[in-house]
């Protein structure tokens, strides 16, 4: 399985935002929505063997499971509506018990570290880092968990967490990319198995 954990530093934790303003009032929720798109969509198909975990302001995490997802559309607005719908049920997420708010979409009352601990088990943690190994030279990891940040850099504590727990460090290219574009490149790399043959 491929997993992507995306840290949304400014993301909303309450469902009181407007779908007309997801790039503004909703704390750049558009960035996270595009990450969901990049992680799941193929042309006329969905990647079932993928999970995405969006951490919202270190308080909640919305997890998407490709094996169970329904009602996911490629556009930002409809994905933002799924996230808003998850936040509408946040009172139901008690302790570390999630609440499934739409098929394949679950809300957890967990921040970055708890989510990391939950999803990193049995995964190869891949840190994307400008000093990492070029992706093309890297052996494709088994069950990778890619950890990404939104439009901000990782906060110090997040960077320390990753530094301590990353199994691998790779970089996707010579230019710094948006998180969603990084996901697309990582998928393509894994799809082609390091471009060895396809």
The site for a copy of itself (CB under 8 A) is made up of 19-20, 22-23, 30-31, 34, 37-38, 41-45, 73-78, 134, 136, 151, 172-178, 181, 184-185, 187-188, 191-192, 195, 198
CB contact set of 47 (below 8 Å; sequence gap of 6+): 2, 39, 40, 41, 66, 187
Nearest-approach distance from CB 138 to a copy of itself, in angstroms: 11
Q: How far is residue 22's CA from residue 16's CA, in Å, rounded to a whole number?
A: 11
Nearer to a copy of itself, 122 or 137 (CB): 137
How near is the Cβ of 198 to a copy of itself at its closest, in Å?
Answer: 4
Minimum distance of a copy of itself from residue 117's CB (angstroms): 27
Nearer to a copy of itself, 97 or 188 (CB): 188
The rounded Cα 108 to chain-centroid distance in angstroms is 14
Distance in Å, CB of 44 to a copy of itself, minimum: 7
* Cβ at position 7, least distance to a copy of itself in Å: 15
Quote the longest CA-to-CA distance of the chain: 49
Which one, 43 or 91, has the nearer CB to a copy of itself? 43
**Torsion from C-alpha of 135, 122, 52, 149, nearest 10 degrees:** -50
Q: Is 64 helix (H, G, I), strand (E, B) or coil?
A: strand
Q: Which is nearer to a copy of itself, 119 or 147 (CB)?
A: 147
């Amino acid at each position: 399985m491929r997993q992507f954990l995306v840290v949304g530093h400014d993301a909303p934790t309450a469902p009181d935002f407007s779908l007309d303003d997801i790039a503004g009032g909703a704390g750049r929720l558009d960035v996270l929505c595009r990450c969901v798109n990049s992680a799941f969509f193929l042309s006329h198909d969905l990647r079932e063997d993928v999970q995405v975990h969006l951490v919202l302001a270190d308080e909640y995490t919305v997890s998407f499971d490709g094996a169970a997802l329904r009602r996911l559309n490629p556009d930002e607005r409809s994905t933002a509506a799924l996230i808003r719908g998850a936040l509408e049920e946040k009172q139901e997420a008690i302790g570390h018990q999630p609440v499934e708010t739409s098929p394949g979409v679950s809300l957890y009352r967990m921040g970055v570290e708890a989510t990391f601990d939950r999803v990193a088990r049995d995964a190869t943690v891949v840190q994307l880092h400008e000093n990492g190994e070029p992706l093309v030279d890297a052996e494709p990891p088994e069950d990778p968990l890619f950890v990404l940040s939104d439009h901000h850099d990782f906060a110090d504590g997040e960077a320390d967490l990753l530094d301590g727990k990353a199994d691998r460090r790779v970089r996707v290219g010579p230019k710094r990319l948006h998180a969603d574009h990084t996901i697309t490149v990582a998928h393509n790399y894994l799809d082609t198995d390091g471009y060895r043959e396809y």
